[in-house]
Amino acid sequence: MNALLRKTSGHGLGTAMLVALALGAAPAAVAAPATPTMDEVIARGRSKIGPEDKLAALETLQYVGNIYDDKGQLSGNLVLQFKKPAAQRVELIMPGYTDVSATDGSEGWFLRTPIDGRKTIAIMQPTQLLSFLDTSYENLYFYRGPEHVRKATSTMSGPEDFRGASCWKVTSSYPGNVTYERFFDVASGDLRGTRAEDGKTEMVEAGHLNAGDLEFPAEVQYYGAGKLIRTVKFTKITVNEPVDDKVFAVPSASSLLSLTTGNSGSAPPLATGPAADTKVNVPPAVPQPDEQPAVLYLQPAQP
């Protein structure tokens, strides 16, 4: 980060104007700022998060938060975990069930735990895994995800309008036709928002939470067709806390019995993040001794 955009020296400009006046000529007009390179735009955006050495030193990242619907009503709890190079685990705690999606970087899986039913696990298909991995790179490498993925690319265009601001658009394209469009304010360099791979959903960050000397958004607002769909408000963000690789690996049938709603063993219980009165009231789905989880392994298609 800390990559500085080129500046015009105040002393140099003043000297040039004095020379021109001394020669009896009108001072030359100051040229309009040159269009920045994509690397400059990205570097400026990264500098809003923190210094380059801190970004490079990040190895693990965890978010804990609450999900609110379009009317501002609490609808669920959320735990996100990331670990370089590309591991990810997403845990959604909703009324009636808990969903876990995870990858260790090479294999991905889903787990659903209903309150009154058996757990079901499935292996991600190749296209699902590719898309899921892309979100790992997007979250771990701060606008430079494509640099870590074979055949992924980044391009820049603009300026163009995004929600009333003139922005440079940086498009990250990943294998499998997955793209993310990020809009950086021309004037300030701030990230104004992100358009998801569906080309319709827009994500706008608001507020700030500091973790590990880095600035993260306090909330993310999701819009579709110009209307608010949901808001995620983070209550805790941690950087570089140790995370066991096992939490990202496909669980065995026996280990599924130890997974309970809201406390999978992969992250702190949500009580350490959201306040007690903001938790979704979901009783734990603990299998009875004679109950075995339903395990459905969907074999990936052969390439």
Instruction: Return the residue matching tokens 């009896």.
Output: 24
Is residue 107 assigned to a domain?
Answer: yes
Q: What's the domain range around 125?
A: 38-278
User: SS in 3 state form for 10-44?
Assistant: HHHHHHHHHHHHHCCCCCCCCCCCCCCCHHHHHHH
Q: What pLDDT shows up at residue 249?
A: 92
Cβ atoms of residues 153 and 146 within 8 Å: yes
What confidence tier does 256 reach under pLDDT thresholds 50, 70, 90?
Answer: low
Residue 51 counted as domain residue: yes
Asked, for residue 13, whether it belongs to a domain, the answer is no
Q: Is the pLDDT of residue 274 over 60?
A: no
What are the Cα distances from residue 213, in Å, to 3, 144, 208, 274? 17, 19, 12, 22
Phi-psi region of 225 (alpha: psi -120 to 50; beta: other; left: phi over 0): left
The domain that contains 43 carries what CATH number?
Answer: 2.50.20
Query: Pick the residue with more confidence: 127 or 197?
Result: 127
Report pLDDT digits (tens) over 172-210.
Answer: 999 878 899 999 999 999 999 999 877 788 999 999 999
Specify if 227 maps to a domain: yes
* Structural domains in the chain (count): 1
Whether 25 is in a domain gets the answer no
66-109 pLDDT, tens digit each: 999 999 999 999 999 999 999 999 999 998 889 999 999 999 99
Per residue in 33-55, pLDDT (tens digit) is 578 999 999 999 999 999 999 99
287 located within any domain: no
Look at residue 135 and tell me if it is in a domain. yes
Who wins on pLDDT, 7 or 246?
246
Q: How far apart are CA 64 and CA 233, in angstroms?
A: 9
Q: Is residue 265 part of a domain?
A: yes
